[in-house]
Amino acid sequence: EVRLVQSGAEVRKPGESLKISCQGSGHSLTNYWIAWVRQMPGKGLEWMGIIYLGDSETRYSPSFQGQVTISADKSLTTAYLRWSSLKTSDTAIYYCAKLPYCSSNSWGFCYMDVWGNGTTVTVSS
Amino acid sequence: QSALSQPRSVSGSPGQAVTITCTGTSSDVGGYNYVSWYQQHPGKVPKVIIYDVTKRPSGVPDRLSGSKSGNTASLTISGLQAEDEADYYCCSYAGRHILIFGGGTKLTVL
């Protein structure tokens, strides 16, 4: 069974950089897409972007393009989410989620089946 | 892209049925049969309950069902139980390797 284990809670000041991680275990993940999802305090889920662990092909939601960087290390079956300059509005829980292979379309994914435990990021001066 | 439109809240009594709608456009919900639904209890991780519009993952009871008509997808929960009280989010493929969520619906079991 695949599990996604995320890095621990972080507290940073505005303007600082940060990189959080999502490591897969229990099965080879190199042929899967991993998504990042934001949930601001008391708010809904927002899809940020996606990365294919096999070749690090990455796509971003227009809302998050240029705001964060998604990367991966295939050898570690780990995906990352990075900020170069945090804002207080980045305070949120960030989830990673695996997308199983979907053979019925050309892009290869349909939904998110396994979710990480979430990483709480607090940005405050 | 804008978030898919969901009612902010719905409610029902135990044993009743409720339906949560998810309205998008022909570029997302209406254009693809890749709508999924996620259940999130307070303080918990989201869990997929419906995918590919109508399919249920193993372990999800058949009193939860999904459907779609045009640009609107729906989640119906029959035989409401107290454990169904949670937030529900729809999600659709929107082209160009992008997914988009709905704003979420809070289900209250009266």
Block means of pLDDT (10 residues each) for chain B, 110 residues, are 93 98 97 97 98 97 97 98 98 94 98
A49 has which bridge partners?
A36, A60
Residue A54 backbone zone (phi > 0: left; psi -120 to 50: alpha; other: beta)? alpha
For A37-96, how does the pLDDT look when each residue is reduced to its tens digit (9 = 90+)?
Answer: 999 999 999 999 999 998 999 999 999 999 999 999 999 999 999 999 999 999 999 999
pLDDT of A31 > 90? The answer is no
Q: What is the DSSP string of chain A?
A: --EEEEPPPEEE-TT--EEEEEEEESS--TTSEEEEEEE-TT--EEEEEEEETTT--EEE-TTTBTTBEEEEEGGGTEEEEEESS--GGG-EEEEEEEE-B-TTSSS-B----EE---EEEEE--
Structure tokens at B37: 């639904």
- As a whole number of angstroms, the distance between CA A115 and CA A36 comes to 10
Cβ neighbours of A113 in B, within 8 Å: 48, 51, 57
Q: What is the mean pLDDT of residues A22-47?
A: 91
**Mean pLDDT taken over chain A:** 94
Cβ neighbours of A44 in B, within 8 Å: 3, 87, 89, 101-104
Residue A25 pLDDT level (bands cut at 50, 70, 90) = confident
Structure tokens at A75: 């050898």
> What pLDDT is stored for residue B21 in this prediction?
98
Q: Which of B48, B87, B96 sits opposite A112 (nearest CB)?
A: B48
**Which residues have a Cβ under 8 Å from the Cβ of B67 and sit 6 or more positions away?**
B53, B54, B73, B74, B76
**Residue from B60, B99, B100 whose CB has the most chain A CBs within 10 Å, to mutate:** B99
Q: Do the Cβ atoms of B48 and A111 come within 8 Å?
A: yes
Q: Do the Cβ atoms of A111 and B101 come within 8 Å?
A: no
Q: Do the Cβ atoms of B98 and A116 come within 8 Å?
A: no
Dihedral over alpha carbons A102, B45, A63, A110 (to 10 degrees):
10
Cβ neighbours of B93 in A, within 8 Å: 105, 107, 110
Give yes or no for A61 touching B (CB within 8 A).
yes
